Amino acid sequence: MTAWVPPDALGRRVSCGTDYGTVRYMGSVARTSGIWLGVEWDDPQRGKHDGCYEGTQYFKCRHPKGGSFIRPNKANFGVDFLTAVKDRYGLNDKSENKMKFPSTSASISSAFSNLKILALNQTEITWTEVLLCAQGWPALEELYLSSNSITVLERPDNVLKTLKLLDLSDNQLLDGNQLHLIAHLPRLEQLILRNTGISSIHFPDAGFGCKTKMFPSLKRLAINDNKISQSLESYTITLCAIPVSVQILPAERRGAELDYRKIFGNDWLEAGGHWDPEKNKPSEEFLAAHPRYPSLCLKYGAPEEGELKGRQPLTLKNQLLTLTIKCPEKPEQKPVEKKLPESMTIQKVKGLLYRLFKIPGSELKLSYESSKLEGKEVELDNDLKPLQFYSIESGDCVLVRW
């Protein structure tokens, strides 16, 4: 099948892969069949000759090796200007168009009564205009508003009740409290807040450790690329306050709960908390402020003294942990005592044990038992985390299985 060649091919710009050139000849070439295009390439290194082939000059090039022949089906002639404009700024996609939005609700058409998904990214729409237009979107489920310079939100009044996904990424919100204004959208399941500049999120209806009643249907929250992740305490409290149904990486939730338990550990001790269950009697005031703290202690164990005391100077001696290595399923392997840096990652520990026990490191499963909490085993399940992440102390026992 012969490839289509536009009648005005001569002089047209073409591309072939990543190379660009200009058509200087169209027709047959001696001792070959079919139609050829003679192209003068922008990059002379793409060419082979100056338009002269086996003694016949078919076209001329400015560079002695700036031209070559290609078959028409290899040439991309692109599209005309009007088609490009329509594809770029046509009505099929409203994103990246600078649009004028109606100033009154009376001008909103009912033509969008069945609209489910709407993308208005980079259109300079304001949140006020969104709420005004939303009266014409009674069935809308997904709304994308990325990169619109939205800084202030307002409470939706009888609009967006069907909304399940809201994307506000790349808008520099004034602060995290702006989210309170959209916290009661009844069906909102996904909220995307990537790179919105927020440094903290507080839920006024929830004390420390409590679950918020805001965002009642939320299942997924994206808050990466924000200043909030730079503040350990703020990030930890935020993750702990979000309902378990919200999609947060298990490692993130586990880390946040462990950090929360550590952050308020001294308060727990001062309020009457104790590692001995018989002496553990935290005050009612503490439990009112941190109602989830007892459940976190049951889940991970009470915070140990080593976790709560001030850090010692970073000398090598203070950074080394004296650990006993045991293989509970291999009784023939005698326990081994090792001194390991607290900053050593689980992956490197596995590498050490591979050499020690002559077994493949990738097959190892590690956990540890605290010398202060006999019988409670904690899995070392993240190869990239250091030993100190799991609050391991000198005297603890690392259990190795394969």
When pLDDT is averaged across residues 188-198 and rounded to a whole number, the result is 89
d(CA 190, CA 167): 8
Q: How far is CA 159 from CA 121, 130, 139, 348, 363, in A?
A: 20, 10, 10, 54, 54
Q: Helices 250-263 and 232-241 meet at what angle, rounded to 10?
A: 110
**Domain with 41 in it: what CATH number?**
2.30.30.190
User: 328 and 397 share a domain?
Assistant: yes
User: 278 and 245 share a domain?
Assistant: no
- For residue 130, what are the domain limits? 105-259
Q: Does any domain span residue 2?
A: no
User: 18 and 142 share a domain?
Assistant: no
User: 172 and 225 share a domain?
Assistant: yes
Q: Does any domain span residue 177?
A: yes
The Cα angle at residue 386 between residues 381 and 387, in degrees rounded to 5: 80
User: 275 and 334 share a domain?
Assistant: no
Q: What are phi and psi of 22, to 5 degrees?
A: -125, 135
DSSP state of 130: H
Q: Does any domain span residue 152?
A: yes
User: 276 and 335 share a domain?
Assistant: no
pLDDT tens, residue by residue, 268-281: 888 888 888 888 88
Give Dmax over CA atoms of the chain in angstroms.
103
Domain boundary among 308, 330, 365: 308
d(CA 358, CA 395): 24
Q: Does any domain span residue 373?
A: yes
Domain boundary among 244, 274, 308: 308
Q: Does any domain span residue 204?
A: yes
pLDDT tens, residue by residue, 148-190: 889 889 999 999 999 999 999 999 888 888 888 999 999 999 9
Domain count, the chain: 4
DSSP state of 76: B
d(CA 249, CA 318): 32
pLDDT tens, residue by residue, 36-93: 999 999 999 999 999 999 999 999 998 999 999 999 999 998 876 667 766 666 555 5
**Chain position carrying tokens 């082979």:** 48
pLDDT reading at 311 higher than 50: no
Please give the model's pTM, rounded to 2 decimal places.
Answer: 0.42
Query: DSSP per residue over 173-199, as a string?
Result: -S-GGGGGGGTT-TT--EEE-TT----
